[in-house]
Structure 1
Amino acid sequence: MSEDTWLAARLIPTSGINGADEQERRATSALLAVMCAVREFGRALTQPLGAPAGAVQTYIEVPFKLGDAKVFPDGLIRVSRGQREWTALVEVKTGSNDLKADQLENYLDVAREQGFDAVITISNQIPPVPGQHPTAVDKRRLKKVALHHLPWSEVLTTAVMQKEYRGVADPDQAWVLGELIRYLEHPKSGALEFSDMGPNWVTLRESVGAGTLRANDAAAADVVGRFDALVRYAGLKLGRGLGTEIVPALTRRELAEPAVRTQALVAQLTSTGAMTAGLRIPGAVGALYITADVRAAKITCHVDVDAPREGRPTTRVNWLVRQLKQAPESVRLESFAAYSRGPGNAELLKAVRENPGLLISDPAKELKAFRVAANSTAGTKRGTGRGSFIDSVLDAVDDFYQQVLQNLKPWMQAPPRLRSPEEVVAEPVSPALVSTAISSQDGPEAGPS
C-alpha cells in the first residue's frame, strides 16, 4: 500500500469521533488542556473575561449539586495569582447544536452558590455584536455571575494569532498549540465556519424582491442579525491572515444596546432592500463597509478616504489614483467637495486614470474626501459553496482588502524643509541699521564693514 494513504499521528486526532457527544467531549478536553499547557494561549482567552494573569488550571465534567439534582458542566477554569482566584464554569456545543437557556441558568445558579466568577459558553453561534450573548437568560441570575460567550471561530482566531504573530516562548508549547489549531480546522472537530443564513433567508429574499417586507416581520430581524454575524466572522477570518484584531464598526450606543443596531438595519432593509455593516482594521486608512443589496443581488465594499489638505483638485485626485495601481479598472471612485451636500462626482477608475478632471465638478472648490468602492455579484443560496450568499460576502471582503484597502495610505503633510545659506535672501537695509553681530536674516554680503 502506498505511503500516501498513511495517516500521520496527531496529538489530538479527529479519527474515531462517533456522534455529537464524543465530538463535544473531545473538543472541550482538547481546548482546556491546551489552555493549561500553553500559558500565553490560556492567558489570551481568559484575561479579556476578567481573569488575572496567573496560572491556569482546567477540569472537565465537574459534578455539582443543585437542589436535589446533579449537574455536570462541560468544564471548569481556575486562574490563580497570589491571593486572587478567578473561577469559571464552561459549557461547550459543537456542530449545529445551540446553547440551551435552562441549562445555562442552572450553571449560573451553581456558580452563584459556589462563589464562582463567570460562566463561559463556546459554540458555533456568532452574536452580531461583540459582548452580546446568543442565548437569552433570566437577567436576575447575572447580578453576581458574569456570562461570556466565545464562538469557535474566535477561539481559533486567538490560537492562530498567538502562535503565528504574538509568539509562544516554549517551542514544545508552540507545537502543542499548533496541534489544537490543526484539530479545530478539521471539519470533524465540530468547530464549524459560518455556514447558514438561516431558515428565513429564502422567504426574506422573496419578500424584498416583491417589495412586501415589513419592519415587524420576524424574518427581517433574524436575517439582519445573521448578516451582522457573517460580517463579524469575515473580520475574524481576515484577522487570522493579517495577524491583527478586526472588530465591527459600531457606535458606542450600538455596542451598549444591540437592539438599536438591529432596528436600524431592519429599517434599512425594508426601505432600500440592502444591509450595511463595517469592519475596523488597525492601520487601515478607514473602515471597510460592506453593503449587501438583496434586491439587486449585489455586494458593494467601500472605504472613505480623506483627501490631501493642500494642492489643486487634480493633484489630490492623482494622489489617490497613484495608490490604486493594483486595483481593478472597475473600481468606482467618488469625490466630495467641501461644503457640498448630496452625492459627489463618480467615475470608474479606468476613466479617471486617463482624465482626473472627471472627478472635479468645480475647480474652485476644495476636494474634501474620496470614496473607493467595488461591486460584485451576491449569491442567493442560504448555505455555503458555489452561488451562496455567505461565500460571495467573504470573497468580496478579502478581494477588496487585498486589491484596494491594503494599498491605501492616509495623506501626510510634508515636514518643513531647512533652507541652505545660499537660499537665504535678505532685504536691503540702511547702513546705519546694520548690526555688527551675524544674524540668520543677513545676506551673503552682510557683515561688519
Structure 2
Amino acid sequence: MSEETWHQARLIPTSGISGAPEQERRATSALLAVLSIVPDYSKALLSAVGASAGKVSTYIEVPFDLDGQRVYPDGLIRVKRGAKEWTALVEVKTGKNVLEAQQLENYLDVARAENFDALITISNEIPPVPGQHPTAVDKRKLRKVAIHHWSWSYVLATAIVQKEHRGVDDPEQAWILGELIRYLEHERSGALDLDDMGPNWVAVREAVAAGTLRANDKTAPEIVSRFDALLRYASLRLGQQLGTDVTPLLTRQEVANPATRASALLASLVQTGELTGVIRIPNTVAPINVVADLRANRITCYVDVNAPQEGRQTTRVNWIVRQLKDARPDVRVESFAARARGAGAAELLADVREDPKLLVTDPNRDIRSFRIALSVPGGSKRGRGRGAFIDSVLDTLDTFYGEVVQHIKPWAAAPPKLREADRTADVSNELVSTDLSSQDGPEDAD
C-alpha cells in the first residue's frame, strides 16, 4: 500500500465527529487544553478579559447545582498566581448554533454564587462592535460577574498571530498550537468563517435599489448589524495575515453606546443606500474607509493622505504617484487644494502617471491632500463564493491594502542641516592688510 493513502496521526483529530454535541465537546476540550499548555497563547486571550498572568488550569463539563437542578457549563478556566485566583465559566457553540439568553443567565447565577469572576462565551457569532456581547442578558446579573465573548474567528486569528508572527519560544508548544490551528481551520470543527448576510439580505438590497426602504423596516437593522460584523471579521482576517491588531475604528460615543452607530448606519442605508465603516491598521498612513453602495452595486475602499507642504504642485502629485507604482491603473486619485470649495480634481492613476498636471486645478493654490480610492463592482449573493457580497468586500480590502496602503509613507520635511563653516579662500599677498585694525588683537610693536 502506498504511503500517500495513509492518514497522518493528529493530536486533535477531525474524524469521528458525529454531531453538534460531539463537535462542541471536542472544540471546547481542544481549546481549553491548549490554553493550559501554551502560556503565550493563553496570555494573549485571557489578559484581554481581565485575567492576570499565572498558572492556567482548565476543565470541561463541570457540574454545578442551581435551584436544585444540575447544570453543566461546557468548561471552566482558572488562573492562579500566588494567593490570587481568577475563574471563568465557559459556554461554547459551534456551527450555526447560537447562544441562548436563558442558559447564559443560569451560568451567570452559578458564577455569582461561586464567587467566580466571569463567563466567557465562544461561538461563530461576531458582535458588530468589539466588546459587545451578541446575546442580550439581564444586566442585573452582571453586577458581580463579567460576561465576555470570543468568536471562533477571533480565537483562530489570535492563535495564528501568536504562532506565525509573535512566536512561541518552546518548539513543542508551537507544534501543539499549530495542531489547534489545523483543527479549527478544518470544516468539520464547526469553527466557521462569516458566510452569510442573513435571510433578509436579498429583500433589503432590492428595496434599497428601488428606493423603497424605510427606517422602520424591521429587517433593515439585521443587515446593518451583519455589515458591522463583516467589518469586524475583515479586520480579524487582515490582522491574521499582517500579524497585528486590525480593528474597526469607532468614535468614543459609538463605543459607549453601540446603538448610536447602528442608528446612523441605518439612516445612511435608507437615505443614500450606503453602508460605511472605517478600519484602523497600526503604522499605516491613514485608516481605510470602506463604502458599500447598494444602489450602485459598488464596493469602494479609500484613504486620505496629507500632501507634502513644500514644492511645486506637480512635484506633490509626483510624490504620491511614485508610491503607487504597484497599484492597478483604475485606482482613482483625487487632489484637494487649500481654501478651495467643493470636490477636487479626480483622475484615474493611469492618466495621472502620463500627465501629473491633471490634478492641478489652480497653480496658485497648494494641494492640501489626496484621496486614493479603489472602486469595484459589488457582489449580490448573501453567502460566500463567486458573486457574493461578503467576498467582494474582503477581496477589495485585501487588494487595496496590498497594492496601495502598505506602500504609502507619510510625507515628512527634511531635517535642517548644520551650516558649514566658512573656508578662507586663497588671497594674494598684495590684498592682505597689515594694519593693526585688521588683526585679531593688539600685539607688541617690537
Q: TM-score, normalised by structure 2?
A: 0.94
Task: Indicate whether 1:270 and 2:274 are aligned.
Answer: no
SS in 1 for 2:219: helix
Please report how far the alpha carbon of residue 289 of structure 1 lies from its aligned counterpart in structure 2 after TM superposition: 1.1
- Structure 2 unaligned regions, length at least 5: 426-432, 442-446
Query: Cα deviations across residues 217-241 of structure 1 (Å, max 9, x unaligned)?
Result: 1222110110111111111111111
Match of 1:7 in 2: 7
Task: Indicate whether 1:20 and 2:24 are aligned.
Answer: no
Q: 1:128-207 to 2 correspondence within 5 Å?
A: 128-207=128-207
Return the letter of the residue paired with 2:98.
D
SS in 1 for 2:357: helix
Match of 1:441 in 2: none
Match of 1:296 in 2: 296
* Cα distance in structure 2, aligned partners of 1:434 and 1:258: 80
Please report how far the alpha carbon of residue 84 of structure 1 lies from its aligned counterpart in structure 2 after TM superposition: 1.3
Return the letter of the residue paired with 1:139.
K
* Cα distance in structure 2, aligned partners of 1:297 and 1:186: 33
SS in 2 for 1:180: helix
* Cα distance in structure 2, aligned partners of 1:79 and 1:434: 84
Match of 1:374 in 2: 374
Match of 1:418 in 2: 418
Please report how far the alpha carbon of residue 423 of structure 1 lies from its aligned counterpart in structure 2 after TM superposition: 7.7
Match of 2:29 in 1: 29
Query: Cα deviations across residues 260-279 of structure 1 (Å, max 9, x unaligned)?
Result: 00011111111111111111
Match of 1:107 in 2: 107
Return the letter of the residue paired with 2:251.
T
**RMSD of equivalent CA atoms:** 1.7
Query: Cα deviations across residues 393-443 of structure 1 (Å, max 9, x unaligned)?
Result: 111111111111111111011111234335899xxxx99987839xxxxxx
* Cα distance in structure 2, aligned partners of 1:340 and 1:215: 35
- Structure 1 unaligned regions, length at least 5: 438-449
* Cα distance in structure 1, aligned partners of 2:125 and 2:63: 26
* Cα distance in structure 1, aligned partners of 2:204 and 2:168: 46
Task: Indicate whether 1:343 and 2:343 are aligned.
Answer: yes
Match of 2:429 in 1: none
* Cα distance in structure 2, aligned partners of 1:312 and 1:25: 66
Q: 1:33-44 to 2 correspondence within 5 Å?
A: 33-44=33-44
Q: 1:41-56 to 2 correspondence within 5 Å?
A: 41-56=41-56
Match of 2:315 in 1: 315
Query: Cα deviations across residues 7-55 of structure 1 (Å, max 9, x unaligned)?
Result: 1111000011010000000000000000000011111110111001111
* Cα distance in structure 1, aligned partners of 2:220 and 2:281: 28
* Cα distance in structure 1, aligned partners of 2:341 and 2:78: 57
Return the letter of the residue paired with 2:175.
W
Match of 1:402 in 2: 402
Match of 1:436 among 417, 433, 440: 440
Query: Cα deviations across residues 328-377 of structure 1 (Å, max 9, x unaligned)?
Result: 11000011112233211111111111111111111111111110000111
The count of corresponding residues between Structure 1 and Structure 2 is 433
* Cα distance in structure 1, aligned partners of 2:334 and 2:215: 32
Greater CA deviation, 170-179 or 412-421? 412-421
Q: 1:355-374 to 2 correspondence within 5 Å?
A: 355-374=355-374
Q: Percent of aligned positions with the same letter in both sequences?
A: 63
Return the letter of the residue paired with 2:207.
S
Alpha-carbon distance change, 435 to 19 in structure 1, aligned in 2, over 3 angstroms: farther
Match of 1:444 in 2: none
SS in 2 for 1:46: helix
Query: Cα deviations across residues 282-315 of structure 1 (Å, max 9, x unaligned)?
Result: 1110001111111111100101111111112111
Query: Cα deviations across residues 115-143 of structure 1 (Å, max 9, x unaligned)?
Result: 01000000000001100000000011111
Greater CA deviation, 165-174 or 116-125? 165-174
* Cα distance in structure 1, aligned partners of 2:55 and 2:353: 58
Return the letter of the residue paired with 1:250.
L
Match of 1:225 in 2: 225
Return the letter of the residue paired with 2:234.
A
Please report how far the alpha carbon of residue 83 of structure 1 lies from its aligned counterpart in structure 2 after TM superposition: 1.8
* Cα distance in structure 2, aligned partners of 1:353 and 1:198: 43
* Cα distance in structure 1, aligned partners of 2:264 and 2:339: 27
Q: 1:67-82 to 2 correspondence within 5 Å?
A: 67-82=67-82
Match of 1:87 in 2: 87
SS in 2 for 1:58: strand
Return the letter of the residue paired with 1:288.
I
Q: TM-score, normalised by structure 1?
A: 0.94
* Cα distance in structure 2, aligned partners of 1:301 and 1:353: 21
* Cα distance in structure 1, aligned partners of 2:344 and 2:437: 57
SS in 1 for 2:373: strand
Please report how far the alpha carbon of residue 103 of structure 1 lies from its aligned counterpart in structure 2 after TM superposition: 0.3
Match of 2:444 in 1: none
Return the letter of the residue paired with 1:215.
A
